[in-house]
Amino acid sequence: MTFVRSLLYSIWFYLTLVILGVLAMPIAIFSRSFAMSAVRSFCHLQAFGLWLICGISMEVRGKENLPKGPGLVAMKHQSTYDTLAPFTFMENPAYILKKELLKAPVFGVYASRVGIPIDRDGGMKTMKLMLAAAKKGVQSGQQIVIFPEGTRQLPDTPADIKPGIVLLYNELGVPCVPVALNTGLVWEGKGFLRKPGKIVFEILPPIEPGLKRAEFTQKLKDALDPATVRLVAEGRAAQDR
């Protein structure tokens, strides 16, 4: 049954992507705000499809900790869904994303409008370009979203903080909001199955700007790791009922 549900959801995902993406594209190419509205609508459709087809619900906790205006959001990364769900509860996110996504049909057009693409093998040049784009985003009121581990991890993997988040934290001068989650339990990082369960995104209290590198890195780990362990345990318990 899980396989059949996953197949039906996959059809739902690509059907809504093509229909909404193609219809909105002529305007989205020229208007970021319109592109953002289209992406937000698509992500709401995915939340609905996961609930209706796969029996996956979603809860967002700690919304009061989200920046009301520009900010930096450091999010755990277990699943593709981590790139979709925040558009349903964040005001104006701009993702740091790998430039390969820009080549994807339909999706790539919108990724270029609402994200900050980077070449993960580009070294210092990539860092400078990312920082320049992030500063511009903050100046226009965006919340810069980055996965501090750089790539998807298994649900039980402790946070491995990469240099990119430290650079942004040091240079942007805004609070950093950690976000823990348990998405990998229902939507695996690599895999087709979408398992029934409850996704939780927990937005944790912000880390104040101005800390030294080592102190900031430890504070981020100390926020993400125990919260993620708790959410993963909660999600597993719900799946075992």
Residue 17 bridge partners (DSSP): none
pLDDT category of residue 239 using cuts at 50, 70 and 90: confident
User: What is the pLDDT at residue 82?
Assistant: 95
Mean pLDDT score of the chain: 92
Give 70-101 pLDDT, tens digit per residue: 999 999 999 999 999 999 999 899 988 877 77
User: What is the pLDDT at residue 19?
Assistant: 95
CA distances to 9, 55, 106 from 15, in Å: 10, 19, 12
Q: Give the torsion through C-alpha atoms of 46, 51, 54, 60, to 10 deg.
A: 80
> Which domains, from first to last, does the chain contain?
56-240 (3.40.1130.10)
Give 146-196 pLDDT, tens digit per residue: 999 988 999 999 999 998 899 999 999 999 999 999 999 999 878 889 999
Q: What is the pTM of this model?
A: 0.93
Buried b (16+ CB within 10 A) or exposed e, 28-40: beeebebbbebbe
